Amino acid sequence: MPEPSLTVAIVDPNPARAVILEEGLRGSGVQQVVVIPDTADLLRRLVEVDPDVVVIDLESPSRDLLEQLFQVSRLVERPVAMFVDQSDAAMMQAAVDAGISAYVVDGLKSDRVKSIIDVAILRFNAFARLQRELHEAKNELADRKIIERAKGLLMRAKNLSEEEAYGLLRRKAMNEKRKLVEIARALVTSAELLG
Partner 1 sequence: MTELRIGFIPLSDAAVLIAAAELGFAEREGLSIQLEKEASWATMRDKLAFGVIDAAHLLAPLAIASSLGLGPTPSARLTVPFALHLNGNAITLSMRLWEELAQPEDADPAAIAGALAEVVKRRSRAGAAPLTLATVFPYSTHTFLLRHFLQPAGIDLDRDIRLTVVPPPYTAEALKIGAIDGFCVGSPWNNVAVASGTGRIVAIGPELVPDAPDKVIAWPEGRLDEVAAGRLIRALKLSGEWCASPANHPELASLLAEPRHIGVEAAILMNTLRGRLPVRLGGPVKATEAYLRFGGEVHRPSMEQARWTYREMVAAGQIADAPETERAALAVYRPDLFDRAVAEDRWSPG
Q: Site residues (CB under 8 A) for partner 1?
A: 40, 43, 58-68, 70-72, 80-82, 86, 89, 92-93, 96-97, 101, 103
In the complex with partner 1, the residue whose CB is nearer, 99 or 152, is 99
User: Least separation, in Å, of the C-beta of 117 and partner 1?
Assistant: 14
In the complex with partner 1, the residue whose CB is nearer, 45 or 185, is 45
User: Least separation, in Å, of the C-beta of 137 and partner 1?
Assistant: 28
Q: Looking at the chain, which runs of residues are DSSP E strands?
A: 7-11, 32-36, 53-57, 80-82, 100-105
In the complex with partner 1, the residue whose CB is nearer, 12 or 168, is 12
User: Least separation, in Å, of the C-beta of 55 and partner 1?
Assistant: 14
Q: What angle do CA 35, 74, 70 make, to 5 degrees?
A: 50
In the complex with partner 1, the residue whose CB is nearer, 97 or 162, is 97
Q: Cα–Cα distance between 23 and 3 in angstroms, integer? A: 20
Composition of the chain by helix, strand, coil, percent to 5: 60, 10, 25
Q: Residue 149: how many CA atoms within 13 Å on its side-chain side?
A: 18
Q: What angle do CA 40, 41, 43 make, to 5 degrees?
A: 105
User: Least separation, in Å, of the C-beta of 188 and partner 1?
Assistant: 29
In the complex with partner 1, the residue whose CB is nearer, 90 or 141, is 90
Q: Can you tell me whether residue 194 is helix, strand or coil? A: helix
User: Least separation, in Å, of the C-beta of 94 and partner 1?
Assistant: 10
Among 53, 39, 58, CA closest to 106:
53
